[in-house]
Structure 1
Amino acid sequence: MNRLLRMSKNRRIFVYLAVIGVLLFLVLVAAGCGGKTAGTAPPKEVKPLDKEMEPYYVDVAWLKENLSKVVVLDARSEKEYNEGHIPGAINVTWQSLSNMTPKQGEAGWGVVLPQEELAKKIGSFGIDGSKPVIIYNDPKGLGEEGRVLWMLRIAGLKDTRMLNGGFPAWKAGGGEISKEVPAVKPVDFKITSPDNSLLATTDYIRSNMSKIKLVDARSIEEYTGKTNHGEKALGHIPGAISIPYNNAYNSDGTIKSIAELKEIFSKAGLDPSDDIVVYCTVGIRSGFLTEILRMCGYEKAKNYNASFSEWAGLGLPVEK
């Protein structure tokens, strides 16, 4: 009798342990095969660039494949650059190609360097026009990649493009990151075919006010005079249309499609035949938006480089 009781007890223990084992196994299977690891998300599908974008943009896959065949420029701040950048990239900020001697509000502050100085500065970065130039930034910035592109194209460097999605896209795509500063060999660069059709001045705007369409690339808060970036007046140039530059980006920092961009511009009242002048505070955001407009077929778009800082500094009319 005692022996039977012991056997029954042992059997209950065995069944109990077996049930626990099965439950643990099911829990582990559920954890391991649930489809996602906590804190991660499946990689987003990379949307291919529209064909019309090819003269202006490259994607991460293209840059990885062609990294040794191009000159890469990092348009971010020196601090961001030093924290990590695309291997071989040269740090070229918008300020390095601009006249930073005047103070904000004074004539000429922040405008692209005169041709001879610009050529010398471009040459100091080892750029001679023999290789394509790819520029990147962080989309959270102010469109500095577009401003640098705009200045290089003024200098006649047409084979210049931006990296779609910028540095965040490079990192998300598994691109290598370096802190090594490349050795740059200066070259004797000459500007032989400048493209001044990209540039508008204060005098040009005043002389053609009835013929042009002005686009304000700043935030709506700046446009309506609720805030500013240090300009001497609040508001905008009379008659200007508000198209914030960052409307051109998707939420992930990549550029919107040509169709989406054209819809934005069309709804704002722009036509590809228009003489368009884009401005912001000092031609950074507007330099970017000018290039986006040109990419979309608005071939007469110009960047008012001195922008609202000079306009307001001269005491010219503004409205809110």
Structure 2
Amino acid sequence: MAFSRLLLKIQAVGLLLATSLSALASDFLVTTDWVEKNLNNPKVRLIEVSVNTGLYERGHIPGAVNFPWHTEFVDTVRRDIVSLERFQQALRKAGVNQDTTIVLYGDNNNWFAAWGAWIFDVYQVKNVKLLDGGRKKWEAESRPLSPLASTYSAGNISLSKANYSLRARLPDVLAVAEKKNNAVLVDIRSPDEYNGKVFAPAGVDELSVRAGHIPSAVNIPWSKAVAADGTFKPVAELKQLYAEAGIDGTKPIIVYCRIGERSSHTWFALKKLLGYNVKNYDGSWTEYGNAVGVPITNLAGTVWGGK
């Protein structure tokens, strides 16, 4: 009898945990059905953030505004994220008010949309959600697209300060590499990038002069977190995926990729859907792999300019 009661308690705790995690996920994700039902909701603002910024002109979710990632989310003079003042100005121009619910979406399984979500979080903007599946799922379901740009009356949103605790810098990851910090590093790039076989995915411009990964980092490619339709896998599956690599939320986590956008996708899964303590290292491999005096692990032994 005592064992049966204990088993029931364990099952009840598991159910409570699963329910709370599901609720957490629903706080930050919306479905394509939800978006279509809210296309005319004045308190909802859709923002497209695609890798290919020209997709917006060809057709976008009706009512959405376009935030080109290379102008609206970055400082165009120095390598940094957009300033609070410029970001606030862009949001007001998009008609975002203090009580607006913001839904981000984009191509490539929401890579840059997730990066946008990270920046929104850095500037502590409330009510920000990601369209689960992004453009891929929206288009696959033959939902409406419009070529007409959307304009709105100026919004009144006010940003007060940034939360830089969500951002890792080079000294932070170097401390982990040198075993001076107990955080865990998650490299979300492809196995070939992680092992040093290639410097970057084919066809990209941002390169590092060294190949490999940050010492002690574990490799969990971002793509393992998504289903075939581009949506995030269920919370229970995500939890198991990362736990199998030793990432269970008991230690602080730093995620990185090449320039910070793919790692934002994993940051979203770990931070928003699982509730773990996670920082995004947006300098990523293009900073770390080009830095002088830092250790690397290069399993393939590839050398810049070598055969």
Which letter maps to 2:124? G
Superposed, 1:191-206 pairs within 5 Å as 191-206=159-174
Which of the residues 190, 194, 207 maps onto 1:219? 190
Which of the residues 266, 271, 277 maps onto 2:243? 266
Which of the residues 126, 139, 142 maps onto 1:171? 139
Quickly say closer, same or farther: Cα 1:175–1:156, change in 2 above 3 A: same
Are 1:88 and 2:68 an aligned pair?
Answer: no
1:65 Cα deviation after fit: 1.3
Which letter maps to 2:270? L
Q: Secondary structure at the match of 2:36?
A: helix
Aligned partner of 2:45 in structure 1 is 71
Distance 2:171 2:243 in 1: 27
Are 1:180 and 2:158 an aligned pair?
Answer: no
Gaps of 5+ in 2: 1-20, 201-206, 299-307
Distance 1:201 1:220 in 2: 23
Are 1:52 and 2:24 an aligned pair?
Answer: yes
Distance 2:288 2:90 in 1: 27
Query: TM-score, normalised to structure 1's length?
Result: 0.76
Aligned partner of 2:104 in structure 1 is 135
Q: Please give the per-residue CA displacement for 1:126-170, whole angstroms capped at 9, x wherever unaligned.
A: 3233210001112x3571111011111111113111111111322
Aligned partner of 1:302 in structure 2 is 279
Distance 2:247 2:140 in 1: 35
Are 1:145 and 2:113 an aligned pair?
Answer: yes
Name which of structure 1's ranges 182-191 and 145-154 shifts more when overlaid on structure 2: 182-191
Q: Secondary structure at the match of 1:122?
A: helix
Distance 1:154 1:129 in 2: 16
Aligned residues of 1:120 and 1:188 also touching (Cα < 8 A): no
Distance 2:37 2:158 in 1: 29
Percent identity among equivalent residues? 27
Distance 1:302 1:203 in 2: 13
Quickly say closer, same or farther: Cα 1:184–1:113, change in 2 above 3 A: same
| Superposition RMSD in Å | 2.1
Distance 1:123 1:306 in 2: 28
Q: Secondary structure at the match of 2:286?
A: helix
Aligned partner of 1:232 in structure 2 is 209
Quickly say closer, same or farther: Cα 1:203–1:121, change in 2 above 3 A: farther
Distance 1:164 1:310 in 2: 30
Q: Please give the per-residue CA displacement for 1:248-306, whole angstroms capped at 9, x wherever unaligned.
A: 11112121000111111101111212110001111101112111101243431010111
Distance 1:100 1:225 in 2: 30
Q: Please give the per-residue CA displacement for 1:214-259, whole angstroms capped at 9, x wherever unaligned.
A: 1111111111111123122100111111111111111121210001
Distance 1:313 1:143 in 2: 23
Are 1:98 and 2:74 an aligned pair?
Answer: yes
Aligned partner of 1:124 in structure 2 is 93
Are 1:317 and 2:295 an aligned pair?
Answer: yes
Aligned residues of 2:94 and 2:151 also touching (Cα < 8 A): no
Distance 1:51 1:127 in 2: 25
Aligned residues of 1:274 and 1:298 also touching (Cα < 8 A): no
Which letter maps to 1:101? V
Gaps of 5+ in 1: 1-48, 103-108
Aligned residues of 2:65 and 2:151 also touching (Cα < 8 A): no
Which letter maps to 1:198? L
Which letter maps to 2:187? D
Aligned partner of 1:35 in structure 2 is none
Aligned residues of 2:46 and 2:102 also touching (Cα < 8 A): yes
Distance 2:139 2:110 in 1: 20
Aligned residues of 2:110 and 2:133 also touching (Cα < 8 A): no
Distance 2:269 2:186 in 1: 13
Are 1:252 and 2:229 an aligned pair?
Answer: yes
Distance 1:238 1:124 in 2: 43
1:186 Cα deviation after fit: 4.0
Which letter maps to 1:307? S
Aligned residues of 1:73 and 1:133 also touching (Cα < 8 A): yes
